Amino acid sequence: MNVQTQLSQRQKAAVIVRLLLDQDDDDGAFGLERLDSDSQTLLAEAMAGMELVDRQTRDAVIDEFCDSLEAVGVTFPGDIDGTLRILGERLSLDSTDRLRRLAALTGRGDPWARIAALPKEAVLTLAAQEPIEIVALMLSKLPVGRASDAFSSLPMERAQAVAQAMSLTGGVSAQALHRVGLILLQSADALPRPAIDTPAADRVGAILNFASADLRDSVLQALDDSDQVFAGGVRKAIFIFAHIPARILPRDIPRVVREVEQPMLIRALLATGEANETTSRFILENLSQRMADGLREEMEEAGKVSAKDSEEAMNEVIAAIRRLEEAGELALIQPETEE
């Protein structure tokens, strides 16, 4: 039987999809939703126009499909977003950004994917500067968390106007949304970009995390005298051993302890000063009784530790916490007020 004369290519695709759907376990592995809307519509129309396909025709379609697969050497996504997903982090951020911008501006990419990936500060700036109607559409398209951050940053009157405008976004066409996305991308591209991404206060705070206590206090005092606002930002960015009870959840303490070599941990736990001793008690109280007792015995045997060794050990504990944070294994509690 010559299958080519009986079924069109679209009908053959419908047969394959029907067979795959029978085997799908409802976990999304088949991925039909990854087809664009037009392809889904054409496929559904083809399936709606078919009834019975005999076994011989089914087997012939499967054989032809398998032969086609075996003839394929390599496949490509066919769009810039899929290509960038394959390349992952192998491209520089500048190259990735330039490719996404070019694809969006030439109509070959989704501008909203790039808008969703904009830095938080850029989204906040767009929310504050763009016309109310455009901001309403932007917040309607952004993930809820990012939209909430931007909305919460708006002045009361502007937030009310944006909320009212969002109630009118239901009838916006896909073409209009695409055009608005392009407008926002152009506005985002016009925003000034700092050569150094990390805010200055965060950078200074990160450096002072590992400075000696005397140097840290001296620098903070000098910053207080010259720029209290900047000094407040630096204080908020600083995270030292004494901050652990306020910044680390009790359940994460065993994970932190496992990340630090025991001799170094002992020296940190022996640090003097009221704040450091409070941290040591917090750590021991959130370990198992057996582990805490073992550490207390080693602390008694170690005796007194020099200030320099304690400082080094406390910095090592903080470095371990930062490693866990970067790996996504714990999250720091953010301070509510400046220290």
pLDDT band at 186 (very low <50, low <70, confident <90, very high): confident
The confidence score (pLDDT) of residue 84 equals: 61
The confidence score (pLDDT) of residue 109 equals: 63
Are residues 144 and 263 both part of a single domain?
Answer: no
**What average pLDDT score do residues 195-203 get?**
73
Are residues 149 and 249 both part of a single domain?
Answer: no
3-state secondary structure of 194: coil
The confidence score (pLDDT) of residue 244 equals: 94
Are residues 123 and 163 both part of a single domain?
Answer: yes
**What average pLDDT score do residues 167-172 get?**
83
pTM summary value: 0.45
Are residues 212 and 126 both part of a single domain?
Answer: no
Q: From CA 253, how far away is CA 285, in angstroms rounded? A: 9
Q: From CA 295, how far away is CA 14, in angstroms rounded? A: 67
Are residues 176 and 277 both part of a single domain?
Answer: no
Reported as a single tens digit per residue, the pLDDT across 232-285 is 888 888 888 999 999 999 999 999 999 999 999 999 999 999 999 999 999 999
pLDDT band at 34 (very low <50, low <70, confident <90, very high): low
Is residue 50 one of the residues assigned to a domain? yes
pLDDT band at 24 (very low <50, low <70, confident <90, very high): low
Q: Which of 2-6, 162-166, 241-245, 311-315 has the lowest mean pLDDT?
A: 2-6
Is residue 61 one of the residues assigned to a domain? yes
Is residue 255 one of the residues assigned to a domain? yes
Q: From CA 112, how far away is CA 177, in angstroms rounded? A: 9
What does pLDDT average to over the chain?
A: 82
What domain range is 214 assigned to?
Answer: 200-327
Is residue 278 one of the residues assigned to a domain? yes
pLDDT band at 63 (very low <50, low <70, confident <90, very high): confident
Are residues 19 and 130 both part of a single domain?
Answer: no
Are residues 209 and 285 both part of a single domain?
Answer: yes
Three-state secondary structure readout of 247-270: HCCHHHHHHHHHHCCHHHHHHHHC
Which percentage of the chain shows pLDDT scores above 90?
29
Rounding to the nearest 10 degrees, give the CA dihedral for residues 110, 112, 117, 122: 130
Q: How many domains, the chain? A: 3
Are residues 233 and 180 both part of a single domain?
Answer: no
Q: Which of 178-182, 228-232, 276-280 has the highest mean pLDDT?
A: 276-280
The confidence score (pLDDT) of residue 339 equals: 42
Are residues 215 and 323 both part of a single domain?
Answer: yes
The CATH number that applies at residue 138 is 1.10.220.30
288 pLDDT higher than 60: yes
Q: From CA 339, how far away is CA 334, in angstroms rounded? A: 12
Which percentage of the chain shows pLDDT scores above 70?
81
Domain termination site, one of 172, 190, 208? 190
Is residue 64 one of the residues assigned to a domain? yes
The confidence score (pLDDT) of residue 291 equals: 93
Are residues 158 and 206 both part of a single domain?
Answer: no
Are residues 236 and 298 both part of a single domain?
Answer: yes
Q: Which of 6-10, 91-95, 216-220 has the lowest mean pLDDT?
A: 91-95
Reported as a single tens digit per residue, the pLDDT across 76-120 is 666 666 666 666 566 666 666 666 666 655 555 678 877 887 888
